[in-house]
Amino acid sequence: MEQIEIFEIPSPCKGICEVNNRGYCKGCYRSRDERFTWGQLTDQQKRAVVILCQQRYQRYLKKKTSSNTATKGNKEQQQLDF
């Protein structure tokens, strides 16, 4: 039995709207396709995208903390990858 959704799933957009070198938004961590098709996605698909964004953010944090020993130029590049 599927649970009925009462509230609409809001966009994870944070209004930063800058893209890293892999094509993910630096604010919400969505891909280009995920950003452009958000309005057409079902609630189930939106939940899946939000979970992916949370996973990308966690990978970003993990790389950021592990790159503390990197050189400054290399560190800046690593912060953009997730």
Please write the tens of the pLDDT for every residue from 11-67: 999 999 999 999 999 999 999 999 999 999 999 999 999 999 999 999 999 988 887
Q: Is the pLDDT of residue 74 over 80?
A: no
Rg (alpha carbons) of the chain, rounded to whole number: 15
Position of tokens 């698909």? 45
Structure tokens at 15: 């209004």
pLDDT reported for residue 32: 95
* C-alpha span between 7 and 43 (Å, rounded): 10
